Amino acid sequence: MVQKAAFFQSVVVGLALLVAACSGGEAEETTTATEGPLVEVVEVAPASAAGSVRASGMIGYRREPVLAFTAAGVVGAIDVDSGDVVRRGQRLATLRRTGAGANVDEAALARANAERDLARTQELFERGFVSEARLESARLAVERARDSSVLTAPADGVILRRGVDPSQTVAAGTPVFVFGETASGIVVRAPVASNDAARIRVGDAARIRVNGAQREGRVTRVGAQGDAATGAFEVEIEITAPEGLRSGMVAEVEVAATPGANPQTSIIVPTLALLDARADQGIVYVLDENAVAHRRAVRTAGVTSAGVVVVEGLAPGDRIVAAGAAYVRDGESVRIATGS
């Protein structure tokens, strides 16, 4: 009887060991099947030198005046259009005035009197009896007495935009053309934060990137007052070789500004690497030596065609999750895609 009990006990122990072995195998298989998510990884590097300022801005001519008639009337001929290159003194448009005089005879008499007064003032000016300001007033009186006006190009340049059509009634000062003066040069106007503007000086060297091509430039003006809505200061940068550039293009600039007390090194990360982006804040996942992902808060300074500019929170050499970050949890091991 004792021998039979011992036999049954040994059978039970054997079955228990078998079940345990099977359970261990299943646990091992489960562990293997639940490896971390597959991600792409990049090692970050400095995108700009410490202390430099990066920004995006618009390209334009340094002088872009709005051309308009000084009197009300009906637009006659429009001789040029947007994109046309013009010469100084070239006729651009004509205007038939509506306020020169309702009566034709009265208008003619007013013109004759104004021209006679101009001739007399011109003679007195040449003899030194009247000032140049008095002569200019007489010339203006003649211009106002005419029943038509001609708008001419103030310098060599290009018509950037046309604002009126023939036969259109316009008031005095209505914009007719936006004019780009070619001799004034081409510049980039970029808004920068107040703390960055304080470190930028006229004459600072700058690099400008437009459509992937890099050009050199220098700072020619730093705004004296911030924008009322954004608080940003406008920095103007002259482009050394502006060939092929047009007003309205977008450019990325990097100014070699004077380093502040805590100079920053800009790092560009892929757009998909940034999570929970709010204003100038965001989250990225940084990998340790064991391929474990850790959340890290970063401070950003805008977006470029290459990615997001990070100015705080990362160091050169950090490995971050570039793609697949949305599927990663803090402290989780990840699988790195081949080629990352």
Q: What does the pLDDT read at residue 15?
A: 45
Tokens encoding 39: 């991600």
| CA–CA gap between residue 299 and residue 284 (Å, rounded) | 10
CB 293 within 8 Å of CB 326: no
Look at residue 196 and give its three-state secondary structure: helix
* Helices and strands counted in the chain (H then E): 4, 22
| CA–CA gap between residue 209 and residue 220 (Å, rounded) | 18
Q: What does the pLDDT read at residue 10?
A: 52
Edge-to-edge strand list for the sheet holding 175-181: 66-68, 175-181, 157-162, 85-86
| CA–CA gap between residue 114 and residue 137 (Å, rounded) | 10
The enclosing H or E element of 339 equals none
Q: What does the pLDDT read at residue 18?
A: 47
Q: What does the pLDDT read at residue 54?
A: 83
Residue with tokens 């300022």: 53
Mean pLDDT (10-residue bins), the chain, 340 residues:
48 46 45 68 73 86 94 91 95 81 59 84 89 85 74 95 94 95 94 84 91 91 87 91 91 77 67 83 92 90 73 87 90 84
Question: Count of residues for the chain?
Answer: 340
In degrees, rounded to 5, the angle at the alpha carbon of residue 98 between the alpha carbons of residues 96 and 101 is 115
Q: What does the pLDDT read at residue 78?
A: 95
| HSE-up (13 A, CA, CB side) for residue 208 | 28
Residue closest to 297 by CA, chosen among 317, 325, 274, 270: 274
